[in-house]
Amino acid sequence: MKKINIKEVIWLGIMAAISYIIYHMLLTGKVLNFVYVRMNQFVIASLIVFILLTILQIRNITRKRPNQKIKIGFFILIVPLIIAAVLSPKGLNEEEAVKKGVTIANTQSVNENGSLGKTIDASLSHKKEGLLEIKAEVFDEVLQDIRNNTDDYLGQRVRIAGFIDRQESYPDHHFVVARMLMVCCAADTLVVGLLAEWEGIQDFEEFQWVEVEGVIDKTDFYDVWLDQEYVAPIIRVEEIKEIERPAVVYVYPADNEDD
């Protein structure tokens, strides 16, 4: 009877565990907490590779090796797997994300005089009669258009959902209806949103998810992240209500949303 090679069994277990974790994240959709949906094809490719490696590794468990010592390198791989299984990572949360800064203006389009230059083709305008609902699928695209063409949107009634961001630098009763913008993965996530005003905002907890309805106006705003004052769009809130945190908290860049 052939002896079992412990090192190869450990390698088999590691690769099988990695394969299962990737499969489980794809199956449950939890992978979207860490990578942009279009990266799924690469995650699936990596799953296929690990499954093949796991299958090939099975034949090695009875293969003799000159050195059977278990090296510390195994533990470097095993410890993260145990942590992933026990803690069930949930991706970036709102409180961590805002520490990177909150984008209220398109930084590339703030002019020296503090106004916002037009960088979006006018043909892409989302302005409409009645209520403009800013859905997650077009969140960044609509916000860019509003921020760059604020005068065109004055008086536009909007409905938007996001989490509450309040900073000490914001004027009284002001907050940002914010979302986390993922470009590629959780590590490059930014926070974007629209400034809003509501006298009762102190009754809501910071980072609480809300749906806001109101009218677009403009105001002078000092941005501590840019160290600059400019004219920014603002929602004069008429209605606000608490909502549940969505299953997918991220939105995606405008140039990726239509493809």
101 in the same domain as 61: no
Which of 87, 114, 129 terminates a domain? The answer is 87
Q: Mapping DSSP to helix (H, G, I), strand (E, B) and coil, where does residue 159 land?
A: strand
The pLDDT assigned to 247 comes to: 84
Q: How far is CA 190 from CA 41, 92, 187, 223, in A?
A: 23, 11, 9, 16
What mean pLDDT, rounded, does the chain reach? Answer: 84
This prediction has a pTM of 0.74
The pLDDT assigned to 87 comes to: 65
183 in the same domain as 213: yes
Q: How far is CA 252 from CA 70, 102, 113, 126, 140, in A?
A: 44, 15, 30, 17, 7
Query: Is it the case that residue 123 has pLDDT exceeding 70?
Result: no
Pairing label, strands 209-223, 190-197: unpaired
Query: Is it the case that residue 250 has pLDDT exceeding 80?
Result: yes
238 in the same domain as 146: yes
The structural domain count of the chain equals 2
181 in the same domain as 75: no
How many Cα atoms sit within 13 Å of 236 on the Cβ side?
10
In the chain, count H helices and then E strands: 7, 8
Residues 6+ apart with CB under 8 A from 142: 126, 132, 134
Tens digits of residue pLDDT in 19-46: 998 998 899 888 888 888 888 899 999 9
Which of 20, 53, 87 terminates a domain? The answer is 87
Give the structural domain span for 147: 94-257
